[in-house]
């Protein structure tokens, strides 16, 4: 019974990792690819880890799997955030079907005092 | 937030006292510890801790539901022969004040498929988000504010 459950979880996890790999190949620009790359680390890896802990069923494996998952949740968005931010900073081309860009022109480039973009109401 | 650490210590103490580290027993310990802290809360400077603990659990469950729903949505679009979405970079105005709360919101936005946080305004007035489904920027703004920000605000208050 638990073998069937574990197998299902492992297959589902592998499916989501495969889908995000396809997404990285298919998506047209860096930002869209980041969507694919970060999500593999969450649902896909999470399901695989859950499947592993169901399969072994011991506390040692479960604790390790949960620790791995927590670190994935902590690190994946930070990496995605830094990459996306650097890309926008360096004007990496966006897909031509991209709609509004409300971040455009908010950086004060060449001024080391300002590290982040301006807010909604630019201060005079 | 420091009471949350105490809560986890109480949960571990319960597990050690009852001699079992099973998931069910840990859950029982978490509930008992939450009840104790709820009634001890006024003396510890947080009279509503029990309610906040429930909200932390609620936020976690909500996050996992959102993760699954939007992963399926992105997976379907990846496998479709044509890409039909309109991505957009959207400014989401922030009501959160704590840096820790904003970090939590940005991470949750990044982890749920379809949205990716790119940057935070220097004055913390808004979060810039790249959305895969950005046809209607106001709908994206509304869903982030209503679903995630409101829940995080309730936890941090």
Question: So what's the ipTM on this one?
Answer: 0.75
Q: Check pLDDT > 90 for residue A11.
A: yes
Mutate to test the interface with A, among B24, B27, B75 (most CBs of A within 10 A): B75
The 3-class secondary structure across B58-116, one letter per residue, is HHHHHHHHHHHHHHHHHHHHHHCCCCCCCCEEEEEECCCCCHHHHHHHHHHHHHCCCEE
Q: Check pLDDT > 80 for residue A98.
A: no
Percent of chain A with pLDDT over 70: 81
State how far the Cα of B77 lies from the Cα of A122, in Å rounded to an integer. Answer: 37
Residue A42: Cβ-neighbour burial (10 angstroms; 0-12, 13-18, 19+): buried
Q: Check pLDDT > 60 for residue B149.
A: yes
Residue B35 confidence (pLDDT): 81
Q: What is the pLDDT of residues B69-100, one digit of tens each?
A: 888 888 888 888 887 778 888 888 888 888 88
Looking at the complex, report in whole angstroms how far the Cα of residue B39 sits from the nearest Cα belonging to chain A: 30
Q: Check pLDDT > 50 for residue A123.
A: no
Residue A122 confidence (pLDDT): 45
Q: What is the pLDDT of residues B98-128, one digit of tens each?
A: 888 888 888 888 888 788 888 888 778 888 8
Residue (of B63, B43, B113) closest to A80 by Cα position: B113
- Residue bearing the bigger pLDDT, B130 or A102: B130
Residue A9 confidence (pLDDT): 92
Residue A14 confidence (pLDDT): 92
Q: Check pLDDT > 60 for residue B2.
A: yes
Mutate to test the interface with B, among A15, A60, A92, A103 (most CBs of B within 10 A): A103
- Residue bearing the bigger pLDDT, A122 or A2: A2
Which has the minimum average pLDDT: A89-103, A107-121, B10-24? Answer: A107-121
Q: What is the pLDDT of residues B27-36, one digit of tens each?
A: 888 888 888 8
Which has the minimum average pLDDT: A77-81, A115-119, B92-96, B139-143? Answer: A115-119
Q: Check pLDDT > 80 for residue A27.
A: yes
Q: How much is the average pLDDT of A23-30? A: 85
Who among B71, B106, B107 is closest to A43 (CB)?
B71
Q: What is the pLDDT of residues A43-59, one digit of tens each?
A: 888 899 999 988 887 87
Q: Check pLDDT > 90 for residue A103.
A: no
DSSP string, B111-141: HSTTEEEEEE-TTSSEEEEEESS-SSHHHHH
Q: At A110, is the pLDDT very low, low, confident or very high (cuts 50, 70, 90)?
A: low
Contact: B87, A99; criterion CB under 8 Å: yes
Going across the sheet that includes B115-120, the strands are B88-93, B126-131, B115-120
Q: How much is the average pLDDT of B52-79? A: 84
Classify residue A103 by its DSSP letter: T
State how far the Cα of A20 lies from the Cα of A13, in Å rounded to an integer. Answer: 11
How many residues are there in chain B? 157
Residue A124 confidence (pLDDT): 34
Residue B121: φ, ψ to 5°: -60, 150
**Chain B residues within 8 angstroms (CB to CB) of chain A:** 21-23, 67-68, 71, 74-75, 78-79, 83, 86-91, 93, 106-107, 110-111, 113-114, 116-126, 128, 130, 132, 134-135, 137
Q: What is the mean pLDDT of chain B?
A: 82
């Amino acid at each position: 019974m638990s073998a069937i459950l574990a197998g299902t979880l492992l297959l589902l996890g592998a499916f989501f990792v495969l889908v995000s790999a396809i997404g990285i190949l298919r998506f047209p620009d860096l930002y869209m690819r980041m969507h694919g790359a970060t999500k593999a680390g969450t649902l896909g890896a999470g399901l695989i880890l859950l499947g592993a802990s169901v399969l072994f069923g011991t506390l040692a494996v479960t604790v390790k799997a949960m620790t791995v998952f927590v670190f994935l949740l902590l690190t994946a968005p930070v990496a995605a955030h830094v990459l996306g931010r650097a890309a926008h900073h360096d004007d990496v081309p966006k897909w031509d079907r991209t709609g509004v860009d409300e971040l455009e022109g908010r950086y004060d480039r060449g001024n080391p005092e300002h590290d982040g973009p301006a807010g909604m109401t630019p201060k005079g | 937030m420091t009471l949350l650490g105490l809560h986890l210590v109480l949960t571990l103490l319960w597990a050690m006292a009852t001699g079992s580290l099973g998931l069910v027993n840990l859950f029982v310990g978490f509930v008992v510890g939450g009840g104790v802290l709820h009634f001890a809360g006024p003396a510890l400077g947080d009279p509503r801790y029990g309610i906040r603990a429930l909200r932390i659990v609620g936020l976690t469950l909500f996050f996992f539901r959102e993760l699954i729903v939007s992963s399926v949505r992105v997976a379907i679009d990846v496998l479709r022969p044509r890409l039909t979405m309109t991505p957009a970079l959207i400014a989401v105005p922030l009501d959160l004040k704590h840096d820790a709360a904003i970090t939590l919101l940005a991470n949750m936005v990044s982890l749920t498929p379809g949205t990716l946080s790119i940057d935070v305004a220097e004055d913390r007035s808004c979060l810039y988000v790249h959305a895969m489904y950005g046809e209607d920027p106001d709908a994206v703004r509304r869903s982030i504010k209503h679903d995630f920000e409101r829940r995080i605000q309730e936890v941090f208050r």
